[in-house]
Structure 1
Amino acid sequence: MKPYPRTITTLAAAAAILSAPAWARTWTDTQGRQIEATLVDSNDTEVILQLDSNNEIFRLPLAKLSAEDLKFLGKKAPAVPDKGAPVPPKKELPPKPGPAAPAGELNFNAPWPQTVKFDADPQIQTITEDKETKKFIYESSNYRFICNVRLSQSVVKGFAVMFESSYNYCRALPLAISGGSKTDGKYLILLFETKEQYVEAGGPPTSAGVYMPGRNTVMVPLTSLGVRPVGSSYMLDRDKANGTLVHEITHQLTPGPYYSRGAMGWFSEGLAEYVTATPYRSGVFKVKSNFDDIVAYATGYGKDDTRGRALGEKISAPALKDFMLMSYGNFTGPRANFNYGFGLILTTYFLHLDGNGDAARAKKFLQALRAGKSGQEAIDVLLDGRSYEEMQDAISKAWKRKRVEIEWDGTSSMTDEEESDE
């Protein structure tokens, strides 16, 4: 790999400052003790982590981290401070992803959308084009795109439509997807000229884009947007599939309470998968007819045979309680593809197949999360007096009518300690 010019590292540095990669890992302290946690943020003195077991956020001094963890963060072991030296102020804890909106902005009573269109001008503005530092900033109605190469307004307008359409779709769903913190009134998107630069900045090598919760930012290589070099400029392939990016954009807009234990995993990922599986083309989401597309995406490779979770039409699932209370580290572990797909199956059930098919219990569940409930207490609102065994039967019967058979793996293996670990 060729070394990057110093100016190309601008975005990589920005990404590191904004947040670390949004996946869980094992952290080890200097005494050899280990925990599973997701990196929220770090600075010159400490790291901020979110425990997978209960979503608790806490700070850990860099001096207590193992050499391997320091290398992962790109940090050196801090020098032992002079006892007489002043203690530097602690960096303020960054906001949790997608803060909840005021009650007046909630839309639980809105009708389910039929079609969501973005046919307006995204109003692209060029904010900065600095060739020396390779910092190019463009803005659309709701987004700020920070890139390390110059892009024409027509190219930016082309992919901005997908971002703005996804924004409109998430906001239109009557689930109060009203989160997402802005910077100067815009959602931040970091764009990289090459996949190598994206990975160097912390993007997962096999991903097309990633949501960075510590600073509510999405990182994307230009290739994922269908932007490719042509001579000394760039052009946009408008037929490029953007499903992964829609997934990450949904995460960026999801309110913080929806990432609480009891929803983190099966629902937070299931919701993003739901939006992703909805048919999209040229600024239009076809919501009314999305059920068959969701089934095709979950059980196979989608109607276009290009993307999907391919769970098959006969699914062997873990006990419902275990799945709904699974730690996020396990959810995104070796069986991540299954978990994402089955999260979509469950989320779709509670949105369209439970009760009268009006998502009534799902909305009460989300309201409970917003009220501060989490874990089993929040799920109890969703179960509405039904046992997990009764729910398993109901889910299986409902999906069987849709040609999907679900067999549950016995009863829950979760211990009382795991259940109460909030």
Structure 2
Amino acid sequence: MMLRVVGGKVHEGAIQFVRNESIYFKTSEGSVVRISMASLNPAGKKMVGSWIWKQGGSKEYASWIGTTDQSFSKPWPRTVYGPTSIQLKKVQSLSKKKLLIYESSHYRFLINTKVEPRVIQRFAVLFEATHKFVFSLPINASGHYMEKGSKFPIYLFGDFASYYRAGGPQGSAGVYMPRNQSVLVPMPVLGVRWTGRKWEYEKRVSNRVLSHELTHQLCAGPAFASWYIEGGAEYVASTRYTHGVYHSNNGKQRVFDYVRDKDGLDDGSGRRLGSRIAMMQLEDFMKLPYAHFSGGRDANKNYGVGLLLTYYFYHHDGGGEAKRVKQYIKAVQLGKGERAAQKLLLAGRSYAQLQEEFRKFCAKGGINLEFAKK
């Protein structure tokens, strides 16, 4: 194959994969070069488009083709152990014009305050353990396909005021920012406080918000439905986490407690929706635009029911092997529309039939979903 870029230069060899508008091309000499899609002449773009089409995918997700089957076939994890110790690399010192930067295996921490490495090492365990847990799930998380050597950016702020100025929503304890694929976190929510001289750890605090936002970062990209975007993040957030370890055993009871119980879980987290939840029709819920799903007075309820629906598809529907939801995920990742992808979830059922099966599943777990009449 010969690819010609604007200006006349010709690359001879074979396409390895396409990712983020770039072609990774192995030349006839054996080296791998990165070629921007925009730099190709019309004939080159047509050639790459033909290669992508033959792979069965789209320009956005062609890099995932050929790797998805392995990612989806992994067994569902029961216990995932994060690193017992963190090796940090200092990249940049703090100054008036520069942030303090440390890197762990998969994360780059950009910090606007003075902080000792031992403090970063301690809370970096949560980040690295979450990374390992999400990647152990058989859902083909998009973060698998980051360029080699890349780090996930985490911005840490010494106070809430700095966090809000940087774009953190008022009242939040962390946020994922899609525009630069970063997570913003105010330091106090990590269980540390500033004494006037240094950061010190206080009593244990809930890490649910952080694991939720980290999941968004690790799974960013595909245009999934709102219920799965937030339900998938809530699934990780509701999984029991202790000292660098995620425990998936007894997950169903924990998920129902997280959604229902008035007092929440033992760490104070949870949606606390009670045992009776008034709902719109399931079809309408599964098609809610993201702004309507995550905003307004029903947002907390939407997140909780999104978690229940995600758990249902992961561990109960179709024999409990997550077969249908994996088909849904793969379809969206390969660029298919949401309507076509949801047909794979329905598997020949109507939305009314799926609604009744989901209602019965939740009722057995102690939550009565009261769907609106058509």
> What TM-score does the superposition give when structure 1 sets the normalisation length?
0.70
Amino acid at match of 1:155: V
2:255 to 294, 297, 306: 294
Query: CA–CA distance in 2 between the matches of 1:99 and 1:205?
Result: 38
Provide the C-alpha distance between the structure 2 equivalents of 1:150 and 1:97, rounded to a whole number of angstroms: 40
SS of the residue 1:144 aligns to = strand
Mean CA deviation greater in 99-108 or 271-280: 99-108
Higher helix share: 2
Q: Which residue of 1 aligns with 2:319?
A: 356
Residue 120 of structure 2 corresponds to residue 159 of structure 1: no
What's the secondary structure of 1:103's corresponding residue? coil
Matches within 5 A, 1:46-85: none
Q: Which of 350, 360, 365 is equivalent to 1:397? A: 360
Distance 2:62 2:199 in 1: 36
Relative to 1, partners in 2 of residues 1:192 and 1:255: Cα closer, same or farther, differing over 3 Å? closer
Query: Using the alignment, how far apart are the partners of 2:237 and 2:351 within structure 1?
Result: 28
SS at 2:183 equivalent:
strand
1:273-284 paired onto structure 2 within 5 Å: 273-284=234-245
1:303 is aligned, of 246, 265, 269, to 265
Name 1:144's counterpart in structure 2: 108
**Alpha carbons 1:100, 1:179 under 8 Å: kept:** no
Q: Is the 8 A contact 1:122 1:140 kept in 2?
A: yes
Q: Which residue of 2 aligns with 1:209?
A: 174
Superposition RMSD in Å: 2.1
Q: How far apart are the structure 2 equivalents of 1:291 and 1:252?
A: 25
- Please give the per-residue CA displacement for 1:241-275, whole angstroms capped at 9, x wherever unaligned: 11101000000011422xx2xx3310010000000
Counterpart contact for 2:60–2:335, Cα < 8 Å: no
Question: For the residues of structure 1 that align with 2:118 and 2:276, how far apart are their CA atoms?
Answer: 46
How far is 1:407 from its partner? 1.8
The percentage of counterpart residues that share the same residue type is: 38
Closer, same or farther in 2 for the Cα pair 1:183/1:194, shift >3 Å? farther
Render the CA deviation track for 1:187-214: whole Å, top value 9, x for unaligned. Answer: 0001111001111111101100010001
TM-score, length-scaled by structure 2 = 0.79
Q: 1:229 aligns with which of 194, 197, 212?
A: 194
Q: Does structure 2 conserve the Cα–Cα contact (< 8 Å) formed by 1:210 and 1:219?
A: yes
Corresponding letter in the other structure for 2:111 = C
Q: 1:230-245 residue pairs with structure 2 within 5 A?
A: 230-237=195-202, 239-245=204-210
For the pair 1:366 / 2:329, whether they are aligned, the reply is: yes
Give the 3 Å change call, closer, same or farther, for CA 208–310 of structure 1 in structure 2.
Answer: same
Bigger RCO of structures 1 and 2 (CA < 8 A, at least 6 apart):
1
Alpha-carbon distance in structure 2 between the residues aligned to 1:232 and 1:342: 44
- My pick for the range that moved more, 305-314 or 290-299, is 305-314
Instruction: Give the superposition deviation at 1:119.
Output: 3.0
Shift of 1:303: 2.7
* Alpha-carbon distance change, 272 to 121 in structure 1, aligned in 2, over 3 angstroms: same
After the TM superposition, which of the residue ranges 143-152 and 102-111 deviates more from structure 2? 102-111
Structure 1 position 374, deviation (Å): 2.1
- Structure 1 residues 110-119 or 286-295, which shifts more? 286-295
Alignment deviations for residues 262-297 of structure 1 (CA, whole Å, 9 cap, x no partner): x33100100000000001111011112222111111
Closer/same/farther in 2, CA of residues 100 and 389 from structure 1, 3 Å limit:
farther
Q: What amino acid is aligned across from residue 212 of structure 1 in structure 2? A: M
CA distance in 1, matches of 2:285, 2:131: 29
| Matched position secondary structure for 1:249 | helix
Residue in 2 that maps onto 1:253: 218
Contact 2:206 2:269 in 1 (8 A): no
SS of residue in 2 equivalent to 1:330 = helix
How is 1:64-143 mapped onto 2 (pairs within 5 angstroms)? 101=64, 103-104=66-67, 106-133=70-97, 135-143=99-107
Partner of 2:33: none
CA distance in 2, matches of 1:252, 1:220: 13
SS at match of 1:107: helix
Partners of 1:207 and 1:160 in 2: how far apart? 20
User: Counterpart in 2 of 1:318?
Assistant: 280
Equivalent residue number for residue 134 of structure 2: 170
Q: Which residue of 2 aligns with 1:30?
A: none
Shift of 1:179: 2.5
Q: Which residue of 1 aligns with 2:155?
A: 190
Instruction: Report the number of matched residues.
Output: 312
Aligned-pair distance for 1:134? Answer: 5.2
